[in-house]
Amino acid sequence: MPNDQLHNNFFSEFAATDKKAWEKKIVSDLKVKAFEELNWKSPEGIEVSPVYTRDDLAALSYLDTTPGETPYNRGVKTKSNNWLIHQRFMAENMDETNQNIRTAIRSGVSEVEIETTSAITDKDVENLLLKINPEKVRLCFNTGNQPQELYSFLMNYFQKSNYDTHKIKGAIEFDPFIEYLYETDPNKKDIKKELQKASSLIQEMNNNLPGFCLLSIHGNILNNAGATIPQELGICLSMGSEFLFSLTETGQTADVISRHIQMILGIGSNYFMEIAKIRAARLLWSTLINTYNKDIPGNEKTFIRSVPSWWNKTKLDPWVNMLRYTTEALSAALGGADSVGQFPFNQLTKKPGNFSERIARNTQIILKKEAYFDKVADPAAGSYYIESLTDSIAEEAWTLFKEIENRGGFIHACKTGYIQEELKKRQSIRKKNIAARKEILVGTNHYSDINEQYPEEEFPSANEEISWLNQRGATEFEDLRKVAESPGGNKPVAVLFPFGDPAVRTARKIFASNFFGCGGFSIKDLTGISSTEEGIKQCKQIKPDVVIFCSSDKEYIEHIPSLAGQIKNATLVVAGNPEKDIIALKKSGIKYFVHLRSNVLETLVMIHKERGISFNSK
């Protein structure tokens, strides 16, 4: 039987349905008044429906394409989904770094990023690239050199070593715009002079080293600052537009400029949104390039590297970072990134070692060699949800891009402080959400390991946030945990005092243990006491810093007035929010009430300060 006939026979057994039918069924089954009640708004400000159908895609004209076709929302890969495995190397000792790079390449790395804190010499380039075939691995440089100087060093080495420079791929990663955001006074930076130098170098590289990108757009830095996905893409687009506008004025053509731009995007834990982000980035970039260059198709592509966001990485319970890196790498791969980077899971507190670097590499190797995510081009195609998210993200990002353009473009918007203020607003909101546990960092502000000691930091100065652009959401909780533990590792003690209704007290005890565990307390659970009198006796023996009563609202007012007066020199807390009895309970000696609406960080800071532990929130 022909396939089309088999298809028709199979589906003829099922009645056709539209989205309205699905919505009606969902409302009936879930017993809600209206389908819209089930919608939720993502941190990106995008309204997300609980169900998507082909009806949601009816208005999207660009979906009728194949991978490798403009507008590249389906990616640029046509035969597979293979991506480069990226690893970054901080080059302090050049010979040692060279050995590490060669080991990494033998272990599966196919894109190398060499980073230094100062300028390197032509001899350093020779030492770094010794016995490394640049025709087999993509080489990227993020150094303190001027781009022209670094290019000269590389060309001298490649030519002296008899490599075919037309087969070599990589990037110099020159990005004057991110530096523009770092400047305390952006009006001092002569951006036009820097771009004029870049223009002449682009032409030279285009002739002699065509596989190398000169310009990089670092969206990951915006991501580290707490930017939403539309903010990251919208601002990246404005940087790209600034490159195109400024460099075309110097005589360069848009197609040549486009070939010399790579985009580096941060990748976070919002799994499906991150898949859609990369697809939206390609769609937006294609749209932008077409406004400058409609006559030469194919140059709307851009190389996209995805690297993990710094924002959600934690010093506490660092093993959780492994899980974060895994989902992030998977999002990047499914989204169609050209290269994917990972960092050692404990990099915030320890120098990268063989184990942590191997785990970072092998995460991606497993995705390729065991899960086969590199075999099928655009594996996310056809998902109503992801296609809808792609369109929503692109629309939001394009709206922001137009707003920046209306304000005179990226440079002018920086000079007036618009971009910085928008990012700082979002950063503040996200910090508050983490403090109140509306945004979860597992192991830090929720589900902490109460037996964990604050980790020893081998090089803490290297990981401190040096500006508002380099931030992590966990910092305040980590700082609180650090000061809560004495130099000897002794933690303040919180006693859970359960009584009354077994179901309610157990639930509130678990909640309180989690709440105070995030603040660095050693938790002592009095479960098993035969009476409240025995609980009082144990409290006198333990001499805790904090006592948390765990019971039902009704039983609090019945028992706490007699219990509270028997506990001396401890901060008394109730797990719950017994609104009718709060005033009476406060008169009995209760100082705090912890519940789902509590600001966790704020409450913990106040309790620690009462116990004589000072804490200065950033």
Q: Note the pLDDT tens digit of each residue in 85-94.
A: 999 999 999 9
576: left (phi over 0), alpha (psi -120 to 50) or beta: left
Q: What is the pLDDT of residue 599?
A: 97
CB 102 within 8 A of CB 131: yes
303 forms beta bridges with 262
**Residues whose CB is less than 8 angstroms from the CB of residue 176 and which lie 6 or more positions away in sequence, other chains included:** 189, 191, 194, 195, 198
Residue 463 identity (one-letter amino acid): N
Find, among 499, 445, 447, the residue nearest to 472 by Cα.
445
In this structure, how many other beta carbons lie within 10 angstroms of the beta carbon of residue 54? 11
The yes-or-no verdict on residue 557 having pLDDT over 80 is yes
pLDDT band at 459 (very low <50, low <70, confident <90, very high): low
Question: What are the structure tokens assigned to 338, written together?
Answer: 């050209």
Q: What is the pLDDT of residue 612?
A: 82
**What is the three-state SS of 427-446?**
HHHHHHHHHCCCCCCECCCE
Please name the helix (run of DSSP H) or strand (run of DSSP E) that holds residue 216, with its range, or none. strand 212-218
The yes-or-no verdict on residue 245 having pLDDT over 70 is yes
Q: What is the pLDDT of residue 2?
A: 56
SS3 255: helix
For 212-250, b/e burial (b = at least 16 CB within 10 A) is bbbbbbbbbbbbbbbbbbbbbbbbbbbbbbbbbbbbbeb
For 277-303, b/e burial (b = at least 16 CB within 10 A) is bbbbbbbbbbbbbbebbeeeeebbbbb
The residue-averaged pLDDT of 274-301 equals 85
Measured over the CA atoms of residue 123, residue 126, residue 128 and residue 130, the dihedral's sign is negative
DSSP assignment of 267-283 equals: E-S-HHHHHHHHHHHHH
The residue-averaged pLDDT of 225-251 equals 94
| 261-267 vs 40-41, strand pairing mode | unpaired
The yes-or-no verdict on residue 145 having pLDDT over 90 is no
Question: What are the structure tokens assigned to 540, written together?
Answer: 């006198």
The residue-averaged pLDDT of 540-546 equals 96
SS3 547: strand
Find, among 513, 439, 432, the residue nearest to 476 by Cα.
432
The residue-averaged pLDDT of 520-529 equals 93
Task: Give pLDDT tens digits for 259-273.
Answer: 899 999 999 999 999
| Separation of alpha carbons 429 and 432, rounded Å | 5
The residue-averaged pLDDT of 140-162 equals 94
pLDDT band at 461 (very low <50, low <70, confident <90, very high): very low
Give the residue with greater pLDDT, 351 vs 362.
362
The yes-or-no verdict on residue 205 having pLDDT over 60 is yes
Instruction: Return the axis-axis angle of helices 191-208 and 147-160, rounded to nearest 10°.
Output: 20
Q: What is the pLDDT of residue 10?
A: 65
Question: What are the structure tokens assigned to 5, written together?
Answer: 């006939």
Q: How many CA atoms lie within 13 A of 571 on its CB side?
A: 22
Please give the backbone phi and psi of residue 197, each rounded to the nearest 5 degrees, phi first.
Answer: -65, -40
CB 243 within 8 A of CB 203: no
Q: Which of 268-282, 456-470, 562-576 has the lowest mean pLDDT?
A: 456-470
In this structure, how many other beta carbons lie within 10 angstroms of the beta carbon of residue 11? 10
| Separation of alpha carbons 483 and 368, rounded Å | 43
251: left (phi over 0), alpha (psi -120 to 50) or beta: left
Find, among 548, 549, 465, 542, the residue nearest to 500 by Cα.
549
pLDDT band at 15 (very low <50, low <70, confident <90, very high): confident
528: left (phi over 0), alpha (psi -120 to 50) or beta: left
Task: Give pLDDT tens digits for 58-83.
Answer: 888 888 889 988 888 898 999 999 99
| 261-267 vs 303-308, strand pairing mode | parallel
SS3 594: strand
Instruction: List, in sequence order, the alpha helices (H) in 370-521.
Output: 384-406, 410-415, 418-435, 475-484, 502-517
CB 603 within 8 A of CB 592: yes
CB 224 within 8 A of CB 310: yes
Place of tokens 């924002």: 311
For 329-359, b/e burial (b = at least 16 CB within 10 A) is bbbbbbbbbbbbbbbbbbbbbbebeeebbbb
| Separation of alpha carbons 169 and 84, rounded Å | 12
| Separation of alpha carbons 557 and 541, rounded Å | 25
On whether the pTM is more than 0.85, the answer is yes
| 546-550 vs 84-90, strand pairing mode | unpaired
Share of the chain above pLDDT 70, in %: 94
573 forms beta bridges with 548, 592
For 105-136, b/e burial (b = at least 16 CB within 10 A) is beeebbbbbbebeeebeeebbbbbbeeeebee
Quote the mean pLDDT of the chain. 91
Residue 506 identity (one-letter amino acid): T
Share of the chain above pLDDT 90, in %: 73
pLDDT band at 462 (very low <50, low <70, confident <90, very high): very low
pLDDT band at 169 (very low <50, low <70, confident <90, very high): very high
The yes-or-no verdict on residue 427 having pLDDT over 80 is yes
The residue-averaged pLDDT of 150-156 equals 96
pLDDT band at 383 (very low <50, low <70, confident <90, very high): very high
